[in-house]
Amino acid sequence: MRDDFLEARRVLDDFLADAALLAALDDAADLLATTLRRGNKILICGNGGSACDAAHFAEELSGRYKADRKPLAALACTDVGHVTCVANDYGFEFVFSRWVEALAQPGDTLIVLSTSGQSPNILHAIDAAKDKGLATIALLGKSGGPCKAHAEYPLVFPGQTSDRIQELHMMALHAFVAQIERALGLA
């Protein structure tokens, strides 16, 4: 197990050494705070473990993070009824884009999570968000895949395996919440 922790530390060190990625994360956090400040919402989606991370992020904004504060508008696409209905009737590649089409308003921001950047449903979500006037943030891994070219804020994290990439994604999502709270004067 020690080797797993050492690998996680190595990937974290690689992340912390990437000044451009850290600056891009700051810019994305500023965008999220601005989105909420003007009365819009944050939507977030991902597949598998990334769906769980999306739900966790949304509840920390709409519920609480470290301290009591007003709730902040965030939604994760994790409703099993929606996902299975759209997957059955239209195809799994449209589960997130139809959700964006139904719930997003101009000025909202979409965050997508994908360790590969290859998922067709994530790409369709980004395109639907852009069509509706949303800013798009993509937390990615490996090469960033096609999502890197589609998202307005493509954030490609180091690591070659989904577990290490997802660990960094979750750390970034926690940092987003903390920065949003500071920027809005809630921390």
Per-residue pLDDT tens over the stretch 100-154:
999 999 999 999 999 999 999 999 999 999 999 999 999 999 999 999 999 999 9
> Is 2-183 a CATH 3.40.50.10490 domain?
yes
- Average pLDDT, whole number, for the chain? 97
**Residue 186: CB partners within 8 Å, gap ≥ 6?**
69, 70, 180
Ramachandran region, residue 76 (left: φ > 0; alpha: ψ -120 to 50; beta: rest): beta
> Dihedrals φ, ψ of 21, to 5°?
-65, -40
| pTM, entire model | 0.97
How far apart, in Å, do the first and last CA atoms of the chain sit? 36
Q: What is the pLDDT of residue 187?
A: 83
Per-residue pLDDT tens over the stretch 12-48:
999 999 999 999 999 999 999 999 999 999 999 999 9
Q: What is the mean pLDDT of residues 72-101?
A: 98
User: What residue spans define the domains of the chain?
Assistant: 2-183
